């Protein structure tokens, strides 16, 4: 079993109330499963970016199967280089370049045979029109040492809305992140990484502008950190938000949410200092000094619910297939030990969590094709398409095309203010087209200080009173054309009184 080892054998009994909450409401009857086929240990599903009818199923031992018009063929065979199937090792996922139709480029994430446990991110190139012919090359982009344990390999590759390749790695395995990787910026494990997979000079990839950490290669690829085993993550194809299903240890499974377009840039999700937002083992040395902004809290958690309950989250997708009725806009997820698919609304994750009444035993992964339809893969071999309860499965079309990115800038007239006085903060939004009159929020930490609407120049001004040193951010919500966005943090300090020369007190004569 692939995911059974993602948490300890000993399960922790929990409160009955938590288990009851997970039972949730019954299915809304919005969807059912339509079988695509039966495969050998299917572990991921995706499609040609330009042709959603050309489906690809990743088999853990190293083969990539193509499904077209009901016919199944071997698209690529990587079994000579893939190490499978000790613990959680194997071929974990693939990602097609957005320009696959012209470039033939796709990328694979796998554990290699040459060095035990070593993780590889490699480029493959398919020849022929639209990448229709067999793969001709295998070029290694990134190699990540993972020597000690055979679990917590992560495994997801995904192109983001920015066209960059995002990579999810586990913490290296063992108990309590015993190898101290997740919090360390000297390790690529327990991270989300971000690269441009095109070469840069002699380097096999390019470090994109905007990566948050000014570190030596290859650690400059780190995008966010503090994850235990982000086995599956996804981008909401409408908003650009990143959602991560991070497999928990003994306490909680969690879903992390980072809004687009900077989806988690520089965020620390806390493992092993915290687990699911509560105190964790805290064995990493970095736990003694938490980041200035604190750890990014999950938007949703659930407990294992006793020895027969869930055990390991399988992260899914925000549903953007209108064939699926009231599932639209909800985050669909599952659990390897769960009995059915579940979903929640992003606006109220905890209170809206419900079972969908769609039984899927030993779920290994979800998948999404290029028109937004969702798939499930099961360890027993079955791959299925989610269809409407009336069997509808037509491509949703262009109604839910991705929204454009936006930028929020922020500045202050002076970074130091006398205590009790007001600061003058200006925020602006770009692009401006269609944004005039939209609301912008000013936040101090997590506190909402006020809202102003954009003027004709897409600018707003705030005058918060300053009583102590504080950090501010400006936020704009998504709309019909643009994703949500947040500014950088702006720090304003208290202006200290200067001492009179010669040590004399103010107002005294000499």
User: For residue 412, what is the domain's CATH number?
Assistant: 2.60.40.2470
Is residue 299 located within the same domain as residue 218?
A: yes
Residue 136 confidence (pLDDT): 63
Q: Do 262 and 316 fall into the same domain? A: yes
Q: Averaged over 266-280, what is the pLDDT?
A: 95
Residue 266, pLDDT above cutoff 50: yes
What is the predicted pLDDT for the residue at 434? 76
> Is the pLDDT reported for residue 78 higher than 70?
yes
User: Do 392 and 471 contact (CB within 8 A), yes or no?
Assistant: no
| Among 59, 65, 22, 30, CA closest to 43 | 59
* Overall average pLDDT of the 339-359 stretch: 94
pTM (two decimals): 0.76
Structural domain containing residue 376: 3-388
Average pLDDT, the chain: 88
The Cβ of residue 124 has, within 10 Å, a number of other Cβ atoms equal to 22
Q: Is 356 a residue whose pLDDT tops 90?
A: yes
Confidence of residue 16 (pLDDT cuts 50, 70, 90): very low
**Region 208-232 average pLDDT:** 97
- Give the per-residue pLDDT at 10: 28
Question: Same domain for 414 and 381?
Answer: no
pLDDT digits (tens, 9 = 90+) for 366-413: 999 999 999 999 999 999 999 998 888 888 754 455 667 788 999 998
Closest CA to 196 of 99, 129, 110, 58: 99
| List of E strands, 130-225 | 135-144, 157-159, 165-168, 191-195, 222-225
Q: How many CB atoms lie within 10 A of CB 466?
A: 21
Specify if 204 maps to a domain: yes
Residues 330 and 475 in one domain: no
**255 and 353 belong to one structural domain:** yes
In the chain, the number of structural domains is 2
Q: What is the pLDDT of residue 433?
A: 77
Judged against a pLDDT cut of 60, whether residue 119 lies above it is answered with: yes
- Indicate whether 229 and 307 sit together in one domain: yes
Mean pLDDT, residues 70-79 taken together: 93
Residue 475: the pLDDT is: 92
The model's confidence at residue 506, banded by pLDDT at 50, 70 and 90, is very low
Q: How many CB atoms lie within 10 A of CB 459?
A: 16
**CATH number of the domain within which 101 lies:** 2.120.10.30
Q: Under 8 Å CB-to-CB from 443, ≥6 apart: which residues?
A: 449, 472, 473, 474, 475
Is the pLDDT at 6 greater than 50? The verdict is no
What's the pLDDT score for residue 477?
86
* Angstrom distance (rounded) from CA 257 to CA 241: 7
Q: Tell me, yes or no, whether 504 lies in a domain.
A: no
Instruction: Indicate if 481 and 348 belong to the same structural domain.
Output: no
Residue 229 confidence (pLDDT) above 70: yes
Residue 395 lies in a domain: no
Q: What is the pLDDT of residue 1?
A: 45
Question: Does the pLDDT at position 329 exceed 50?
Answer: yes
């Amino acid at each position: 079993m692939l995911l059974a080892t993602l948490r300890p054998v000993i399960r922790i009994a929990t409160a009955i109330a938590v288990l009851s909450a997970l039972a949730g409401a019954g299915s809304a009857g919005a969807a059912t499963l339509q079988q695509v086929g039966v495969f050998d240990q299917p572990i991921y599903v995706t499609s040609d970016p330009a042709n959603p009818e050309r489906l690809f199923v990743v088999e853990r031992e190293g083969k990539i199967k193509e499904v077209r018009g009901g016919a199944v063929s071997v698209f690529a065979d990587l079994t000579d280089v893939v190490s499978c199937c000790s613990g959680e090792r194997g071929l974990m996922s693939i990602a097609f370049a957005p320009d696959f139709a012209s470039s033939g480029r796709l990328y694979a994430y796998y554990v290699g045979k040459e060095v035990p446990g070593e993780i590889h991110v490699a480029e493959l190139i398919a020849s022929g029109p639209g990448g229709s012919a067999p793969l001709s090359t295998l070029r290694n982009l990134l190699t990540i040492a993972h020597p000690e344990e055979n679990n917590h390999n992560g495994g997801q590759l995904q192109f983001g809305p920015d066209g960059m390749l995002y990579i999810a790695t586990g913490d290296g395995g063992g108990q309590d992140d015993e190898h101290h990787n997740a919090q360390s910026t000297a390790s690529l494990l327990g991270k989300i990484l971000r690269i441009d997979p095109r070469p840069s000079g002699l380097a096999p990839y390019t470090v994109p502008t905007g990566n948050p950490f000014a570190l030596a290669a290859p650690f400059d690829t780190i995008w966010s950190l503090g994850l235990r085993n982000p086995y599956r993550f996804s981008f909401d194809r409408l908003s650009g938000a990143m959602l991560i299903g991070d497999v928990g240890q003994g306490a909680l499974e969690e879903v992390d949410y980072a809004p687009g377009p900077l989806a988690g840039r520089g965020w620390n999700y806390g493992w092993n200092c915290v687990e699911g937002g509560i105190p964790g083992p805290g064995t990493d040395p970095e736990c003694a000094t938490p980041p200035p902004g604190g750890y990014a809290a999950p938007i949703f958690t659930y407990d294992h619910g006793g020895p027969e309950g869930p055990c390991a989250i399988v992260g899914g997708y925000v549903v953007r297939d209108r064939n699926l009725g009231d599932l639209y806009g909800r985050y669909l997820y599952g659990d390897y030990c769960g009995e059915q698919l579940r979903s929640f609304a992003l606006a109220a994750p905890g209170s809206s969590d419900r079972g969908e009444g769609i039984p899927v035993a030993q779920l290994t992964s979800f998948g999404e094709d290029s028109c937004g339809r969702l798939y499930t893969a099961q360890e027993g071999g079955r791959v299925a398409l989610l269809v409407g309860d009336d069997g509808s499965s037509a491509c949703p079309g262009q109604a839910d095309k991705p929204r454009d990115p936006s930028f929020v800038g922020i500045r202050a007239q002076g970074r130091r203010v006398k205590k009790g006085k007001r600061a003058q903060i200006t925020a602006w939004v770009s692009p401006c087209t269609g944004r005039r009159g939209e609301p912008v929020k000013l936040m101090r930490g997590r506190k909402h200080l006020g809202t102003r609407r954009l003027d004709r120049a897409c600018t707003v001004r705030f005058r918060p009173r300053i009583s102590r040193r504080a950090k501010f951010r400006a936020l704009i919500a998504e709309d019909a054309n643009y994703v949500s966005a947040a500014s950088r943090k702006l720090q304003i300090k208290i202006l200290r009184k200067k001492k009179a020369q010669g040590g004399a007190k103010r107002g005294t004569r000499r």
